[in-house]
Amino acid sequence: MKVGFGLYSHMLTKDFYRFARQCGATHVVVHLVDYTAGSSASGANQQPVGDTGGWGVAGTGRERWSLESLLRLKRELAEEGLTLEAIENFDPADWYDILLDGPHREEQMTHLKKVVQTVGEAGIPILGYNFSLAGVASRTTGPFARGGAQSVAMTEVDERPLPRGMVWNMVYDREAYGDGSVAEPRATVSHDELWRRLTGFLEELVPVAEAAGVRLAAHPDDPPAARVRGTPRLVYRPDLYQKLIDAVPSRSNGLEFCLGTIAEMADGDLYDAVDTYARQGAIAYVHFRNVHGKVPQYHETFIDEGDIDFSRVVRILERNGFDGMLIPDHAPDMTCDAPWHAGMAFAMGYISALLQSQGVKR
């Protein structure tokens, strides 16, 4: 297995590359979308939580997706001993009408096909995504982890409808959004309708990914409630991952397997899910994040103190021949001058020691 590290768009610098390598990472997942553009959280190291106004404004930094930029990024990472293994998430500005089934769907599908082709041409094997209307929402932060460390929690489902001009928890149309006070209820969108949209998306994009040598990897809904902000969710139970991969059977239709999110699910067994999907070879890469509790009430913990037995997870992955990448996802902030760095270093050290103790080849 490979030990990886996730880097947000503002972290694509030599200092962060060296920090990742010093923590033991050999592979990297990068986020090219600037999730906090235009918000007060801009440049924060942790994934944003957002409120009714979401994370930030979509559509900035599109130059990062060019072939020239991707090849330059690969070279810069390689110079620091790191391999660019995956890109995580499309920019909501590039596929909002695919999610919403709006008038620009066809041109946006054409654009995403070009994105996948470019990623393949750059030699990047995995492209993660999350097919969601509300995105990552209904969360808060506080001193929820051991010793009062700052971490993320869910205390209730956010029922407030999304404002106009927002999807995936980001603003894609500033004019429609305005001051965010006008809601656009989407309660009429059913789960079946959202699955229809996803299936159409996969039917068009998976063949392009196959030809490009790219593996699409779907993240489950985080948090995994059946509906959030008045919109349906797709993968809020472990068995729904099977529905997704069966929709268009292909190695290029894979899973971005977030252990923390699956552990948060109200139904299903985490270890059965790991075994089921690892046995099928469906897992593209794995997020290591620990939690305590389940929707609608849970909180994220340090990697060694939550509900997940990661030793058991690694044994299951090893038994099924998984040789992909593990990354620590996000971790609690520790009380020091570098809260994010300390939390991530702790998680990376735990993962490395766990693999070594299990005799897993890296």
Dihedral angle, C-alpha 338, 339, 341, 346, nearest 10 °: 130
Tell me if 362 is assigned to some domain. Answer: no
Encode pLDDT of 54-68 as tens digits: 788 999 988 999 999
Encode pLDDT of 86-131 as tens digits: 999 999 999 999 999 999 999 999 999 999 999 999 999 999 999 9
Return the minimum-mean-pLDDT range out of 35-39, 54-58, 248-252. Answer: 35-39
- What the block records as the tokens of 176 is 């429609």
Ramachandran category for residue 38: left, alpha or beta (phi over 0 → left; psi -120 to 50 → alpha):
left
pLDDT for position 40? 57
Peptide bond into 296 cis (omega under 30): yes
Residue 197: CATH number of its domain: 3.20.20.150
Tell me if 62 is assigned to some domain. Answer: yes
* d(C-alpha 95, C-alpha 4), whole Å: 27
Encode pLDDT of 288-333 as tens digits: 999 999 999 999 999 999 999 999 999 999 999 999 999 998 899 9
- 290 close to 310: Cβ distance less than 8 angstroms: yes
Is the pLDDT reported for residue 30 higher than 90? yes
Q: Amino acid identity, residue 314? A: V
- What the block records as the tokens of 295 is 């929707």
pLDDT for position 100? 95
Q: Which has more pLDDT, 188 or 63?
A: 63
Largest Cα separation within the chain, whole Å, is 56
Encode pLDDT of 259-281 as tens digits: 999 999 999 999 999 999 999 99
pLDDT for position 126? 98
Q: How confident is the model at residue 185 (pLDDT cuts 50, 70, 90)?
A: low
Kindly report the number of other CB atoms within 10 A of residue 338's CB atom: 13
Tell me if 330 is assigned to some domain. Answer: yes
pLDDT for position 186? 66
Is the pLDDT reported for residue 53 higher than 80? no
Kindly report the number of other CB atoms within 10 A of residue 140's CB atom: 14
Encode pLDDT of 66-97 as tens digits: 999 999 999 999 999 999 999 999 999 999 99
Give CA angle at 341 (337, 346), nearest 5°.
115
Is the pLDDT reported for residue 187 higher than 70? no
Tell me if 305 is assigned to some domain. Answer: yes
Tell me if 92 is assigned to some domain. Answer: yes
Tell me if 190 is assigned to some domain. Answer: yes
CA 292, 286, 111, 197 torsion-angle sign: negative
352 to each of 17, 86, 343, how far by Cα in Å?
A: 18, 20, 14
pLDDT for position 362? 79
DSSP 136-151: S-S-EEEEEEGGGEEE
pLDDT for position 276? 98
Angle between helices 339-357 and 310-319 (to 10 degrees): 50
Is the pLDDT reported for residue 181 higher than 60? yes
- 216 close to 205: Cβ distance less than 8 angstroms: yes
Q: Amino acid identity, residue 181? A: S
Encode pLDDT of 155-180 as tens digits: 999 988 888 999 999 999 999 888 88
Domain that holds residue 332: 2-357
Tell me if 102 is assigned to some domain. Answer: yes
* d(C-alpha 35, C-alpha 29), whole Å: 15
Is the pLDDT reported for residue 353 higher than 90? yes
Tell me if 233 is assigned to some domain. Answer: yes
* d(C-alpha 242, C-alpha 126), whole Å: 19
How many structural domains does the chain have? Answer: 1
Mean pLDDT taken over the chain = 94
Q: How confident is the model at residue 227 (pLDDT cuts 50, 70, 90)?
A: very high
- What the block records as the tokens of 331 is 């971790």
